[in-house]
Each structure stands twice: as structure tokens, then as C-alpha cells.
């Protein structure tokens, strides 16, 4: 099971030895069941019958938002909370469920004709490291036109977004890729109750807008309430969860290994100088202190994902959607492909439209007429890898 991650701290020494010697077949479902029983599979909680057989499983945040350092074997090691599992193919796992009817029923609130086969195709379109949290609110599975700098760069692109690196977030105001939802604590309650179906309470009147959220409005997903406070398993945990998340610092890159320090020093000058990145990604927070969101027009990209989140109000009092100035601390992990399969490395921006940091820099150079030389672009990339 190469795409789920195994926490070596939960394994008895004998099992670790056997794994190191290659004596355990990790593709064998019996082994998977054993590992779940040991609570070693990140984010997967098993419920077992008296006779030891597995009755059901539940998922926690860690299935997407934690990974391991591979210190024992590929995908097996010490856990690193907050770092995304970019190997995990959430859509493929969901698509393999024997009964998709609950998902079909939900999506039919937006599209009455949708079939299980179509839902399966949507789930399979996501690919590793991505998930579409908004699909279950608006039913919008594909971005009809991905546009970068006035050029159509893709059609019918899956609406799934990259699982973000949830470390180094303290001090950020708006969260998620669009910033349109709210804070870490807002999103935690939403995911725990509306996505992972934990027993809890979630309130958001903005979901009652049937034009933007045809599913959420009909299913009343903004009004989920547990009448007996003692049965609410989520609300009492929101405080501690938020503290923990905000206490996770970004991983630190190693000079000379993860980046070239001399080039990074030159890139630092460019970042706050000629390339003007610091105007939005404000050092050392890497986002704006305050309202950290920009319109699609400002970013010169399409507004598909931005429009899926609730609007804020612009200076003229009109509804405005945007993208959050994304955190850059620890971005080297994705560029270098650390703690992930080689094929899953890279991917930047909410929909992963840029494969490498150089692609990102080339695009900024074109979008904002920065006239960076090849050497300057290289130096800027080395600087980004040093954050």
C-alpha cells in the first residue's frame, strides 16, 4: 500500500526488523489490516469485531495532512504532521468504494441526471495529492477553461485542489487556496463535520445561496447541529486542534543540500527588488499581514476556483472573489520531491498548473513584465527553495 503512510513509532521492533529485511509483503491486505489494528496507518482508524475481523474504517485529517520521513522504508517512518501526503490518490480510493450511492445522491441535488459511472470518472480525474472539498457543495467537477496570462492553458481541468502544506501557518489571516472561507478554525469545523462526517456542529449561512451552492443549500450543510452537546465529538476539540496546527513550524531547508546559498542570497535581493514578490509574499510571513487575498484579474489567471468560495466585498461594495497569497515557507519540500514518490513531486498553485518553481517564476515574469534574465530566474528559484 505505497500511497498510504505507516508510522514506525506505532510498530513493534520485530515488525520493523521484518520490514527492513523485506519479509513483509506490504501489498497483502492481511498486512494492511494488521497495520490498521496497530494504529500505524496514518489517518486510518479501524473498528474491529470481537473475532478480530475488520468491521469498518474511519478517516482522520492525517490521511491527507500527514506523511512520514521514509526512515524505515519508502512510505514507512516517523510521522510529520501538517506535511501533505502528495502520493495519496484520494479520488481513486473513493472511486473504488463498492457503493457510491450516497455521493451520487448528494451530487444529484446539483445535477439530477448524474450517474454513478460519471461520479466515478470525476473521482478518478483528481490524481495524487488532490481533493475537491467544494464538489460536495456546488457540484462543479471541472474548470471549463484554465487561463494563465490571457492564454487558455487547459480545458475541463479537474476542480480538485492540491492538499496544501499545513505548516508555518501562524500569523496568516485568510486560509485555504482561495481565502474565501475564513480561518483555520472555520475550515477545521467544516471539514470535520461536512466532509469527514464527524458528529458535530457546523454553521454557515453563506451556504444557503442556491445559485452558488446548489447542493449545500438543499442539503442544509450550513446548518448541521447536534442537539445534545455531550454527543458533539467535534466542537470541544476545535480549540486544541487550532493551537496544534498553528504550532507546527515550516520545515527548514539545508543550505548546500536543498538550495545553493550564494544563488539564494542573490535571489533574496530580487524577491524584494526587481521581481516585486515581496509586495504580496511579505517576508517572513510570506503572505500579507491583513487581508491576504487577490482577485483573479490581479493574478492574471482564471477565477474558476476563486468563484467557488464565498465572496468578500471590494472597495466599490461589490462581491469579490480571490486567491489567497499562498505561504512559501517549506516550498522546497515539493520542489525537491522530499518524502514522496518521484512521480508526485512538484505542482504549484491551487490546481497544480505549474510543475516546477521555474515554471512559476517564468509565468510571473511574463504576467508582470519583470524582464528577468535566465540567471535571475535561477537565483529566484534558489531563494524560494531556501524559505
CB of 164 to ligand HEC, least distance (A): 4
The nearer residue to ligand HEC, 80 or 90, going by C-beta atoms, is 90
The nearer residue to ligand HEC, 214 or 296, going by C-beta atoms, is 296
Do residues 226 and 204 touch, judged by C-beta distance below 8 A?
A: no
The nearer residue to ligand HEC, 118 or 185, going by C-beta atoms, is 185
The nearer residue to ligand HEC, 77 or 324, going by C-beta atoms, is 324
d(CA 302, CA 265): 33
CB of 183 to ligand HEC, least distance (A): 8
Long-range contacts of 357-366 (CB under 8 A, 24+ apart): 357/331, 357/381, 357/384, 357/385, 360/384, 361/275, 363/148, 363/149, 364/275, 364/277, 366/149
CB of 371 to ligand HEC, least distance (A): 12
CB of 169 to ligand HEC, least distance (A): 6
CB of 349 to ligand HEC, least distance (A): 4
The nearer residue to ligand HEC, 63 or 72, going by C-beta atoms, is 63
CB of 63 to ligand HEC, least distance (A): 5
CB of 77 to ligand HEC, least distance (A): 20
What is the binding site for ligand HEC (CB under 6 A)?
Answer: 59, 61, 63-65, 90, 131, 133, 161, 163-164, 166, 169, 175-178, 184, 187-188, 191-192, 196, 241, 245, 275-277, 279-281, 294, 298-299, 323-326, 328, 331, 348-350, 357, 360-361, 364, 380, 384
Angle 230-232-238 from CA coordinates, rounded to 5°? 120
The nearer residue to ligand HEC, 19 or 207, going by C-beta atoms, is 207
Long-range contacts of 194-199 (CB under 8 A, 24+ apart): 194/136, 194/221, 194/224, 195/133, 195/136, 196/58, 196/59, 196/60, 196/61, 198/233, 198/234, 199/226, 199/231, 199/232, 199/233, 199/234
Contacting residues for 146 by C-beta, under 8 A, at least 6 apart: 152, 153, 154, 155, 157, 302, 304, 351, 353
d(CA 199, CA 225): 9
Amino acid at each position: 500500500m505505497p500511497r498510504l503512510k505507516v508510522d514506525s513509532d506505532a510498530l513493534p521492533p520485530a515488525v520493523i526488523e521484518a520490514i527492513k529485511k523485506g519479509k513483509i509483503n506490504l501489498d497483502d491486505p492481511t498486512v494492511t489490516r494488521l497495520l490498521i489494528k496497530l494504529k500505524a496507518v496514518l489517518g486510518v482508524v479501524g473498528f474491529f469485531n470481537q473475532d478480530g475481523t475488520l468491521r469498518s474504517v474511519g478517516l482522520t485529517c492525517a490521511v491527507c495532512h500527514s506523511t512520514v520521513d521514509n526512515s524505515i522504508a519508502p512510505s514507512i517512518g516517523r510521522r510529520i504532521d501538517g506535511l501533505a501526503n502528495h502520493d495519496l490518490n484520494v479520488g481513486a480510493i473513493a472511486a473504488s468504494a463498492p457503493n457510491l450511492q450516497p455521493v451520487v445522491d448528494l451530487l444529484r441535488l446539483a445535477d439530477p441526471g448524474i450517474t454513478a459511472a460519471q461520479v466515478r470518472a470525476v473521482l478518478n480525474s483528481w490524481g495524487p495529492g488532490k481533493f475537491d472539498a467544494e464538489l460536495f457543495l456546488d457540484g462543479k467537477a471541472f474548470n471549463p477553461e484554465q487561463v494563465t496570462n490571457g492564454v487558455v492553458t487547459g480545458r475541463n481541468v479537474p476542480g480538485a485542489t492540491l492538499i496544501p502544506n499545513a505548516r508555518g501557518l501562524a500569523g496568516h489571516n485568510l486560509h485555504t487556496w482561495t481565502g474565501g472561507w475564513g480561518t483555520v478554525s472555520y475550515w477545521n469545523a467544516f471539514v470535520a463535520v461536512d466532509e469527514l462526517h464527524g458528529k458535530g456542529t457546523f454553521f454557515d449561512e453563506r451556504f444557503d445561496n442556491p445559485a452558488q451552492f446548489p447542493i449545500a443549500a438543499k442539503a442544509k450543510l450550513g446548518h448541521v447541529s447536534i442537539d445534545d452537546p455531550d454527543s458533539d465529538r467535534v466542537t470541544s476539540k476545535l480549540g486544541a486542534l487550532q493551537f496544534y496546527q498553528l504550532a507546527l513550524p515550516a520545515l527548514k531547508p539545508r543550505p548546500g543540500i536543498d538550495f545553493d546559498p550564494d544563488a539564494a542570497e542573490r535571489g533574496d535581493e530580487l524577491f524584494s527588488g526587481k521581481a516585486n514578490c515581496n509586495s504580496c509574499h511579505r517576508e517572513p510571513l510570506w503572505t500579507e499581514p491583513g487581508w491576504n487575498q487577490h482577485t483573479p484579474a490581479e493574478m492574471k489567471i482564471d477565477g474558476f476556483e476563486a468563484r467557488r468560495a464565498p465572496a468578500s466585498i471590494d472597495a466599490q461594495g461589490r462581491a469579490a472573489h480571490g486567491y489567497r497569497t499562498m505561504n512559501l515557507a517549506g516550498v522546497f519540500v515539493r520542489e525537491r520531491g522530499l518524502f514522496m514518490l518521484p512521480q508526485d513531486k512538484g505542482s504549484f498553485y491551487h490546481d497544480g498548473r505549474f510543475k516546477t518553481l521555474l515554471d512559476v517564476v517564468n509565468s510571473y515574469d511574463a504576467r508582470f513584465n519583470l524582464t528577468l534574465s535566465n540567471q535571475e530566474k535561477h537565483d529566484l528559484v534558489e531563494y524560494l527553495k531556501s524559505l
